[in-house]
Each structure stands twice: as structure tokens, then as C-alpha cells.
Structure 1
Amino acid sequence: MKKSLIMLIAAVAMASCASNSTEKSESTTSTPSAETAVLVKTATAEVQTIDLTEVYTSEIKPYKENDITPAVAGLHIDKIKVDVGDHVRQGQVIVVMDQTTLKQQELNLATMQDNYDRMKPVHEAGGVSDQQIVQLENQLNLQKEVVENLRKNSTIVSPISGVVTARNFESGDLFASMPILHIMQINQLKVMANVSEQYYTSVKVGHPVEIEVDLFPGETFNGKVTRINPALDAATRTFGVEITIPNGKERLRPGMYARATFTMGQREAVMVPDQAVQKQAGSSERYVYVIKDGVAEYRFVKDGRRVGNMIEILEGLEAGDEVATTSFTRLMGGKKVEVKNE
């Protein structure tokens, strides 16, 4: 009897232990694990003073250019003294025309002058009518103009200092309508920009402009506004601005594609690193993750100007807001985060 009682007590104790073990196991299984926080790096939205810049594209043009064309057609070219690529000075003789026609017309002028000189006393004596002497005088004056024009065009000088960029004839050719040479002044260059009408009162003569070209990436050339068109284009609502660029070393060339950057003023702006601003898939909207009290908040923003690796936020953030700059693929609104900026 005593032995049976002991065995019963042992059985009850074992059942109790098994029950407690099962309850603990079930309790452990049913309790969810703590949420794992996402490690992120962050940056703080800051107010910065930014330049208000506008960029306009255009083609670089020579400061001056001239076609070298004699005023008299039908003459042979005796000698062209320069070639493409040659630098010339203002006033330098660059083309000599054939002198045969000039010499013949000078002989004709001398003959007509002698004839007039002989007939003038006869006219004064009444032997020649007024009409005849006036006709002789008109013919003489006309011949003087012909000779003077030929003399002016017998040697042609460069009207500007520059470089020869085209040659259309050879020595001995008969001059036709096409220019013999084309000369460009390139120690200074100019760019024409069509600027938005909202900046008409901001742009003045002397306004500095930065010029960039693809041939020299990362390098800027300094220019300044030298002329402003007083009238606006009614169709485009822009006004023309001429920018002059010093080019003493002639690194820039006419025909290059240029970007002209104007600084129109400054303003205070809320700025964040550009990697903090993400693009909403399938739309043009931008968003950031604002980190507050260890939680990521999904927030739409309106971005503005880019300055280096920073971007302006026009709407959606205030100075002092902390935004995520990493781990975007693992973030979502309400997600717990751990900031680690070291």
C-alpha cells in the first residue's frame, strides 16, 4: 500500500513537469522576435546661400570677320600673298591684282585729259559749244573715277587683324563674284545668348559670364556682356545678349558649342545631399526618408537647383530635418532605423 502511494506521487510529479515544459515551449514559440532596425547614414537639411545661375547654349563666333572682295569684277589676280591659317595685320597687303587693266585705263585718262586741255581754250574762243565742253568734262571725270577705283583695288589690304580661314582663288585666276579670302578676328570671340525676359533688369553691360566648351571639360573661360538688344523677341520672350571672350592664346575657336553661365543673384535655400533625394518609380515625383525618433518617415519633396553635390528643397523639408542618405532599398515608412554616421 505504501509502495503504491509513492509510485502515484512520482507519476503526478512527472506529468506536472511535462505540462510546465510544454507551456514554456508554447510560450516561447508564440512570442514574436523584436524588429531589426535598419542601419542608415544621415545628413541634416541646412540653409545655405546659393547663386541663382542660368545656363544658355550658343555657338562661338569670331569677334569680327571680313570677306576680301575687290570692288571691280573681271580682273585677274596677280598674287595672293597669304594662305589659310596665316595671321594677318590690319593694313597688311594680302592680294595684288593684275595691273594691265589699270595701266590701260591710266593711258586712256591721260589721252582724255590732253584732249580736254586742248579743247578748253577753243571753247573759250567760241570754237566749241558749251554742250561739247561739258560732255568732255563729264567723260574726263568719269574716267578719273574708273582709274581711282582700279588703283584702290589693285592692291588689297586686310581691314582687320586676324587669321585667314578661307581661300577661294589661286594666283592668276580671273576674279568672279566669290570672295578671294575670308578673315576672322579670333583673339577675341563672342557668344550670342537669348536670355529670358525675367532677367532683363538683372543683366547689364559688363556682367560677368562663365563660358564652358566640351573640348576643355571642367575648365571655364571668363567673358562679359558687351551689348544688350533693347528689344525682346515677341515669340520667345527673350532678349539678345552679346558676350565677349578674351582669347589671346586662341584656344577657343569659332564654331565651338558653348555654355554661357550667368549669375543672376543669390538666395537662401534649404539644401541636402543629392543622394538623399530619390525618384518615385513611374513618376517625376521626388521623396526622402526623414529620420525622427528612430523611425523613417516617407515624405514627398519638391526639388530645385543643384549646386555641386547638393540639391535645393523647395517644399517638404525644413532646416534641421534629418534625412537618410543610404539603405533606401530596405527602408519604408514607419521602419525602425539605427543611425550610424561614423
Structure 2
Amino acid sequence: MKRKYGVLIVVIAIAVIVFLLWNGGKSNSVDHATQLTPSVQKIRVAATKPTLMTFEDTVTFVGNLEAEEKASVASKVGDVTILSVNVDVGDEVKMGDILVEMDDSLNRRQIEEARAAVARAEAAIAQARSRLATVEKDYKRYKQLYEEQVISRQQFDQTEGQYEVEKAGLDLAQRELKQAQARLEQLLIVKNYHKVAAPVSGIIAERLVDPGDTVKSGDVLLVISRQDNVKVKGTITEANYPKVKLGQNVYIKVDAFPEQDFTGKVNRISPTLDPITRTGEVEVRIASQGLLKPGMFARVEIVVGSHEALAVPREAVRQLAGTGEWYCFVVSDNVAQQRPIKRGAEQGNWIEITEGIGESDLVITTVVRQLSDGVPVEVATQ
């Protein structure tokens, strides 16, 4: 009887051990499974509704900055040698400044000869007047004698002929004096051309001669650029041509000053279109502010009107890598939904949305790596 009780106790003990081992293993597996199940956490984001804004309608083109005016300073005398060049590229000059000096030795000799010719002509006039005065007395006397029939017609004719010759001689001497004086005046003007003065104020843009060079009449010596204002020329399409008017405001971006905006006006519009490209040329003028220089690359926006449209902050707009497609994330049932969009104009930190977003949509502006289509989100701020 005791043996039966002992066996029963052993069996019960084994059953208890097996039960405990079974429950313990099951509990551990449940705990382990619980650990493997990921917890779903919501991403806290900031979101906003699209804003109705007024955007400027613009027509754009690109081009290079040019000087408002350029003056080519050319030589007015030929076969002369440059003695000195008083300026270099980049120098600022004022109207009347002497820029280039040329050898005027030949001109000085010509002036001396012309003055001598004037003196000879003046002497010739004095002699002609003296002779004429003498002959005139004889002419008047002989005329009176002829009228009194004291002398013959032949004698009077000889005296009259001599008188006319002396009058013509005086006229010729006077004409020769005028020619000599004109030649002298011309040479004195040419003498001034040997010192080349700046015709306008500006900046020396090009220097084409050096001391010792021999130049001909008409050769360009220097180019002066007026840079108080600069201009940009560009072409616009036939569709945009009617929208552009003289005096419209213009915004200019220059690569050299990426953080700075420049403003100007439409200065000129071509009256005709190119029949091949169907484009017209537009010129805008901008104050240089001492910064803008000819040759800089510029992007031009001409303001031709305005319109109202929905807009979202720039940080809300994203682009699919490797494509030209744009999208936003909107909140839909506490889930981020990727929404394809089409962009329009840009104004400051705002971008016009022409398609894909409505007024009631809640657009996510938070930029986080974990954000993707279908991810649960919690809007923290609006």
C-alpha cells in the first residue's frame, strides 16, 4: 500500500513538472512574439492650408548686360605717331579729359607755312591796292580828258584797261588771302586733333593703341562706356509680344549677385517680329548702382499683369528624384498622402499650385526623412 502511494506521488510530481514546463515555455513564446511585433508610432508634423495670393504675371528672357552707351574715340588725323596714352581699361574719365597725345611736328611746320602764305597774301594785297590807287588816278584824269575830247579814244581805252587789270589783281590777291587764312584755320583745328579729348564721361572699356603706334584717320583708339545705367536685350515669343509695353517694371537676377534683386523698366520694343523665329526683341534698362557691369549674365522678368491663385510654402513642395515631377504631402485621415501637383509662379517663399491641391487640403510643411506615402501622422501645428 505504501508502494502504491509512492508511485502515485512520483506520477503527480512528474505531471506538475511537465505542466510547469509547458506553461513557462508558452509564456516565453508569447513574450517573445510580443517583442517582435513592431509598435506603430505617428510622425508629428506641421501642416497648413493653401493660401489665396496675388501673383504677378511675368514674361522672361535671358541676356548679357550691355553698356547703355558706348563711344568709339577715333583719330581725326592720319599717318601720325602716338606719343602717349594717358588712360587704361577701367579708368573713369570725364568729358574733355585728354586721353591720347599724338606727334604734331608735321602739323606745326604746315602751320608755319600757312602763316607765311597769309603774310605773302597780305603783302600782295597791299601792293595791289597801291598800284590800283595810282592807276585809278590816271583813269579818272584820262576819263575827264576824254570827255573833254582832249585825248583819243585809244589812249582812254589803254588807261581803262590797265585800271581793270589792277582791280582784278586786287580781287585775286584778296581771294588768295582768304584761301591762305582758311588753310591756316584748318591746320590750327587739326592741331587740336593731336590731343584726343574724351567726348563723353564714362569708363574706358577698350584700349586699342600704345605709344609708338602709327594710326590712320578713322582708326579707333579707345572705347568709352557709359555705365550709370546698363541694358539687357532679349527675345520674347509671338504669344507674349502683345503683353509687353514700354515702361513696365522689370526684375533682374544676376549670377554675380545671387542674393540681390535689381529693378528696371522696359526701354525699347522692336516694332517687328522675326518671320523665321516668330520672336521680337525687347530692351530693358537698369541702374547699375556701381555693381552691374557689361558682360554679366542676367535673367529678366517683365511684369505684365497679375492673377490670384492658391499657394503653399516652398518647403511643402518636393520633387521626385530624377524626374521633373513635383508633389506635396497632404493629411488624409491622419495619414500622409503623396499628391502630384503642378507648379506655377513663385513669389518670395510661396509657390503657386495650379493643379493637385484644393483650398480645403491640409498640406504638410515639415521636412523629415521618415515621411512617406501612407505613414500615420499627427498634426502638431497649423
- The TM-score normalised by the length of structure 1 is 0.71
Residue deviations 1:16-36, cap 9 Å, x none?
Answer: xx9xx9xx99xx9999x8983
- The one of 252, 261, 280 equivalent to 1:239 is 280
Give yes or no for contact 1:211–1:220 (8 Å, CA) kept in 2. Answer: yes
SS for the counterpart of 2:225 is: strand
Counterpart residue number, 1:4: none
- CA–CA distance in structure 2, aligned partners of residues 38 and 276 of structure 1: 19
More displaced 10-residue stretch of structure 1: 55-64 or 176-185:
176-185
Structure 1 pair 82–274 and aligned structure 2 pair: CA distance change class (3 A)? closer
CA, structure 1 residues 105+285, in 2 after alignment: closer, same or farther (shift >3 Å)?
A: same
Taking the aligned partners of 1:331 and 1:86, their CA distance within structure 2 comes to 59
What's the counterpart of residue 347 of structure 2? 307
1: CA distance between counterparts of 2:88 and 2:342? Answer: 58
Question: Is the contact made by 2:44 and 2:379 (CA closer than 8 Å) also made in structure 1?
Answer: yes
Specify the alignment match of 2:91 in structure 1.
Answer: 86
**Post-superposition offset of 1:297:** 3.7
Show the counterpart of 2:50. Answer: 45
CA shift digits 1:98-131 (9 cap, x unpaired)? 2222233335545766579789x99x739x9xxx
Q: Over alpha carbons, which structure has the higher Rg?
A: 2
1:225 aligned to 2:259?
A: no
CA distance 1:142–1:239, shift in 2 (3 Å): farther
Classify the secondary structure of the residue corresponding to 2:271: strand
- Asked whether the 8 Å contact 1:39–1:340 carries over to 2, the reply is no
Shift of 1:160: 0.8
Q: Give, as a single letter, the amino acid of the residue that structure 2 aligns with 1:210.
A: Y
In structure 2, what residue type is equivalent to 1:39?
Answer: I
Change (3 A) 1:332 1:178: same
Unmatched 5+ stretches in structure 2: 1-7, 133-161
More helix by share: 2
d(CA) in 1 for partners of 2:336 and 2:207? 70
Equivalent position amino acid for 2:40 in 1? T
Contact 2:43–2:376 (CA<8 Å) still a contact in 1? no
- What is the CA–CA distance in structure 2 between the aligned matches of 1:88 and 1:164, rounded to whole Å? 7
The sequence identity of aligned pairs, in percent, is 31
1:40 CA displacement: 4.2
Aligned to 2:156: none
Match of 1:260 in 2: 300
* Distance (Å, rounded) in 2 between the aligned partners of 1:98 and 1:331: 80
CA drift at 1:318: 1.0
The residue that corresponds to 2:215 in the other structure is: 175
Q: State the alpha-carbon separation in 2 of the partners of residues 71 and 319 from structure 1.
A: 72
Distance apart, 1:218 and its partner CA: 1.3
Aligned to 2:324: 284
- 1:118-176 residue CA offsets vs partner (Å, 9 max, x unmatched): 89x99x739x9xxxx9xx99x97996797477345233221111122333434454325
Say whether the 8 Å CA contact 1:38–1:331 is kept in structure 2.
no
Distance 1:281 1:225, change over 3 A: closer
Is the 1:289–1:299 Cα contact (8 Å) retained in structure 2? yes
Equivalence map 1:23-102=2 (5 Å):
36=40, 38-43=42-47, 44-102=49-107
Cα 1:264–1:37 shift into 2, 3 Å: farther
Structure 2 counterpart of 1:256, one-letter code: M
Q: Any idea what SS the aligned residue of 1:41 has?
A: strand
Structure 1, 93-102 or 35-44: larger mean CA deviation: 35-44
* 1:314-325 mapped onto 2 (5 Å cutoff): 314-324=354-364, 325=366
Relative to structure 1, the CA distance from residue 62 to residue 299 in structure 2 (aligned partners, 3 Å threshold; closer, same or farther) is closer
Equivalent of 1:103 in 104, 108, 112: 108
Give yes or no for contact 1:55–1:262 (8 Å, CA) kept in 2.
yes
Aligned CA RMSD, in angstroms, stands at 4.4
Q: Could you say which residue in structure 1 is the equivalent of 2:372? A: 331
Cα distance per residue 1:285-323 (max 9 Å; x no partner): 333333233244443222223333332221121112112
The one-letter amino acid of 1:155's match is K
State the distance in 2 between where 1:319 and 1:218 align: 32
CA distance in 2, matches of 1:141, 1:234: 58
**Alignment pair present for 1:202 and 2:243:** yes
CA distance, structure 1, for counterparts of residue 312 and residue 209 of structure 2: 62
Deviation at 1:84, TM superposition (A): 3.8
Uncovered stretches (5+) of structure 1, i.e. residues with no partner? 1-6
Cα separation, partners in 2 of 1:99 and 1:280, compared to 1, 3 Å: closer
Distance in structure 1 (CA, Å) of the matches to 2:203 and 2:379: 63
Letter in 2 for 1:311: I
Query: What TM-score comes out, normalization by structure 2 length?
Result: 0.65
Residue 78 of structure 2 aligns with an amino acid whose one-letter code is: A
CA distance in 2, matches of 1:141, 1:203: 58
Comparing 66-75 and 148-157, the one that deviates more: 148-157
Query: Per the alignment, do residues 291 and 183 of structure 1 end up closer, same or farther by CA in structure 2, a change over 3 Å counting?
Result: same
